[in-house]
A = this chain, B = another copy of it.
Amino acid sequence: MKIYEYASAPNCRRVRMFLAEKGLEVEYVPVDIAKGENLSAEFRTKDVNAKVPVLELEDGQCIAESVAIQRYFEELHPEPALFGRDAKEKAVVEMWTRRADFNMMFNVGMCFQHTSGVFKDRMNVFADFGEDAGRKALKFFDVLDQHLSDHEYLAGDYFSAADIGMLCSMDFGKVVNLRPDAEKHPNLVRWREQLKARPSAKA
């Protein structure tokens, strides 16, 4: 079993942090997406989207998508439960996991892809759209700050995969200078510092 990944990609960190919380170690195989190693015909057989991370199982089955990889390990190693323990918790963790994807990762990622020019050789770039996405990410910082004013973690009083997803997505914002402001977002910064104190945050 091995995981293809690129160390600085936020969705790869999302898997590493999750595995560290579970106390699991898996072999990592670096794929240099800056050099386009993920775009080879061979790698596309592992993921139709040619993205990282990808978990390759012993039988050759490949699991792409960070959250799909997380769920694989959650099922085999249920403790500590990171996707919730009952129906309501599981639903709330899924809700916040999707907000980490749609409100944060998507906006930060679009801002990066459409304003940095890093992947301009492999995609159509729409700078105005990218800037608009960046403003949406900033606006979502306000929503998060409000929510975290009376919730210790995103899903309530317990740490979950949703916190991992949101932290890794938000931290990636620094590449386009999107950072929460200590004065404007005290609760968000408190939550971030709390998560950064976990050993898994350095995974």
Residues of A within 8 A of B (CB): 48-49, 55, 57, 61, 63-65, 67-69, 71-73, 75-76, 86-88, 90-92, 94-95, 98-99, 101-103, 106, 124, 126, 128-129, 132, 143, 147
Contact = CB atoms under 8 A, between A and B. Distances in A.
Nearest to A73: B87
Contact of A48 (B76, B92, B143): B143
Contact residues of A: prevailing secondary structure: helix
A147 B87 CA distance: 32
B126 A88 contact: no
Contacts of A68: 91-92, 94-95, 98
Given A49-B99, A61-B88, A129-B126, A94 B67 contact: yes
A41 to B, nearest CB: 13
Contact of A90 (B55, B71, B99): B71
